[in-house]
Structure 1
Amino acid sequence: MNIIELLGLKTTLLSAEKTIVEVIVSDRLMQPYGIVHGGINALLAETAASLGANECLPDNLVPVGVSIHTNHLKAVSHGILVAIATPVNIGHSLQVWSVSIFEKDTNTLTSISTVTMKNQIFKK
């Protein structure tokens, strides 16, 4: 089982122009003070950006994260988080994606991230 399955992340839109990933806030996402751990924001951002970035690549390449910058804007303790990833730049060797995370019910912005990925040759 991978981290996406373990935490219950669900991809609701997948394209090279926009990717959306959701997760239900549960105890497994919390830090000790009863709010979603900041690492979850980074995980959602990198997951959504990587999935979208992969849609831009031929089968012999995969996106590999090289940098992520996340700003946590609002604490979350319940509900559903929605990560929306859109490309900023899709280059030959690097891709940069912007990811906004919202509370689904209130449409409140909770974090923003910039994710940079290298288009890496993949061999099985």
Structure 2
Amino acid sequence: MSIWKTPLVLADINKFNENTICSLLGIEITEIGSDYLVATMPVDQRHHQPMGILHGGASVVLAETVGSVAATMANAPGYYAVGLDINANHIRGVSSGVVTARATAVHIGRSTQVWNIAITNEQGKAVCESRLTMSVLKSPNA
């Protein structure tokens, strides 16, 4: 059974993210499951910190992006979600390739949502584990 109350399609999500930090970093939503959402991000010089590895902030942008889109889809029509808190544990360095983020719900409530985001490298090894808490608000036009 799907958790999505406001289902979206990949093309629409990625179009909505054009001309944002997502396009700047190459973040793309790539898969919608019945209870998870997946996004990818390349790792190149745009994403590096001075030591030549993936900047932790870029991982957090990826995590917040996939978690925020998931939260939007899990909301009933007429509601939206904004970030309250995010944390990230950086586990493994990556200097090139593609990282993949998978968001799964920990809690989908009336006023808050909590999402777990696991970011892995191309070999499926953990790069970052993040937790995102969202506030659910009623749209002013609803």
- TM-score between both structures, scaled by the size of structure 2: 0.82
> What runs of 5+ residues in structure 1 fail to find an aligned partner?
none
SS in 1 for 2:94: coil
Deviates further, 2-11 or 55-64: 55-64
Once residues 101 and 93 of structure 2 are traced to their aligned partners in structure 1, the CA distance between those partners, rounded to angstroms, is: 15
Alignment of 1:66-105 (within 5 A): 66-104=84-122
The Cα of 1:113 is off from its aligned counterpart by 0.6
> What runs of 5+ residues in structure 2 fail to find an aligned partner?
1-18
Q: Percent identity?
A: 34
Task: Name the counterpart of 2:128.
Answer: 111
Deviates further, 59-68 or 84-93: 59-68
Task: Name the counterpart of 2:62.
Answer: 44
Q: Structure 1: which 4+ aligned runs deviate by more than 2 Å?
A: 121-124
- Over the residues paired in the alignment, what is the CA RMSD in angstroms? 1.3
| Greater percentage in strand | 1
- TM-score between both structures, scaled by the size of structure 1: 0.93
The Cα of 1:33 is off from its aligned counterpart by 1.1
Once residues 140 and 27 of structure 2 are traced to their aligned partners in structure 1, the CA distance between those partners, rounded to angstroms, is: 26
Is 1:15–1:55's contact at 8 Å kept on the other side of the alignment?
A: no
Residues 122, 44 of structure 1: alpha-carbon distance in 2 compared, 3 angstrom cutoff: same
Task: Name the counterpart of 1:58.
Answer: 76
